């Protein structure tokens, strides 16, 4: 049995029996090892979110299988935590109750939840905000609360769909550092989608570049540099140029297709 995530020959066609089927993913093969940090880069509409939904168990593949720890993924599970671009907190609950929502569903006592909430709030740097409602937080704080809510379930893999895209550049850099610390401490794998080459290079053990739709894996780039990384070092600039080149070809293709259709 392989531990971690294994995507085997996965294809996804949306609305296959309609007049307008959309081939989102074609023959994806991707393994994410335990504790590995993998970043997906690709042009808009190439199926990155679709792939995360399949792994989260929210959608089913048209072809192929996605497995986690040797078992076929058929439904959502707390061991595969999904974090969206816009934090999806319950607006009527406090930050603390949002974070411990899954623990409550699981039957954890109030006392234990209180302890868990304190630990998680501290971990994501929201110690003083547990009793606030989500609308009282900044965008970066809301994303940290969403991260804490996923971490509460002790996931084995964190699926993150452009989690920092809506944040200003300084907050984004801090969130990346935060995420790396949490990732180190948790031992979980991370599969993160971004449009930012810098973000990919700052975070990833491996960057997976997708083609334009239908998304296929175009290239995989391993990054062995220790973290925190200096993105201005000669090696990182070289890697950034390589990613830019790979991505530019696909973005170009995606635009041409849109103009033709
Ligand atoms: N629920 C759905 N029903 C039908 N088509 C869908 C659905 N979700 C996505 N698609 C289509 O599948 C393709 C891939 O979409 P997806 O959201 O996975 O792309 P993406 O790579 O995440 O793009 P972006 O970078 O813009 O977020 C697109 O053509 C999109 O229109
Ligand atoms: Mg997307």
Tell me: the pLDDT tens digits for 84-112? 888 789 999 999 999 999 999 999 999 99
Question: Closest ligand 1 atom to the C-alpha of 162?
Answer: 27
Residues of the chain with pLDDT under 70: 1, 261
Ligand 1 atom with the shortest distance to the CA of 52: 18
Domain extents for the chain?
89-154
Contacts by 219-228, CB closer than 8 A, 24 or more apart: 219/246, 227/180, 227/202, 228/177, 228/180, 228/202
pLDDT at 1: 64
Q: Can you give the pLDDT at residue 17? A: 94
CB 25 within 8 A of CB 51: yes
pTM summary value:
0.94
Task: Quote the mean pLDDT of the chain.
Answer: 94
Q: Which residue's C-alpha comes closest to atom 23 of ligand 1?
A: 45
Ligand 1 pocket, residue 14 CB under 6 Å: yes
Q: Is 28 in the pocket of ligand 1 (CB under 6 A)?
A: no
Tokens of 164: 């920092």
**pLDDT tens-digit series, residues 60-72:** 999 999 999 999 9
Return the pLDDT at 261.
Answer: 67
């Amino acid at each position: 049995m392989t531990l971690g995530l294994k995507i085997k020959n996965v294809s996804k066609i949306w609305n296959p029996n309609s007049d307008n089927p959309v081939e989102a993913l074609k023959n994806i093969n991707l393994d994410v090892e335990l504790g590995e940090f993998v970043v997906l880069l690709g042009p808009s509409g190439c199926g990155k979110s679709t792939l995360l939904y399949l792994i989260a168990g929210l959608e089913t593949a048209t072809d192929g299988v996605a497995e986690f720890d040797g078992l076929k993924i058929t439904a959502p599970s707390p061991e595969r935590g999904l974090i969206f671009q816009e934090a999806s907190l319950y607006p009527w609950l406090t930050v603390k109750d949002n974070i411990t929502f899954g623990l409550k569903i699981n039957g954890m006592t109030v006392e234990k939840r209180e302890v868990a909430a304190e630990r998680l709030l501290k971990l994501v740097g929201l110690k003083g905000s547990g009793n606030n409602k989500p609308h009282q937080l900044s965008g970066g704080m809301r994303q940290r609360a969403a991260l804490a809510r996923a971490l509460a379930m002790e996931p084995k893999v964190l699926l993150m769909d452009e989690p920092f895209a809506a944040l200003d550049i300084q907050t984004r850099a801090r969130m990346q550092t935060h995420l790396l610390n949490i990732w180190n401490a948790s031992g979980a794998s991370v599969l993160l989608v971004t449009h930012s080459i810098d973000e990919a290079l700052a975070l990833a053990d491996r960057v997976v570049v997708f083609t334009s739709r239908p998304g296929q894996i175009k290239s995989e780039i391993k990054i062995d540099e220790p973290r925190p990384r200096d993105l201005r070092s000669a090696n990182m600039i070289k890697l950034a140029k390589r990613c830019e080149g790979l991505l530019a070809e696909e973005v170009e293709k995606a635009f041409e297709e849109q103009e033709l259709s």
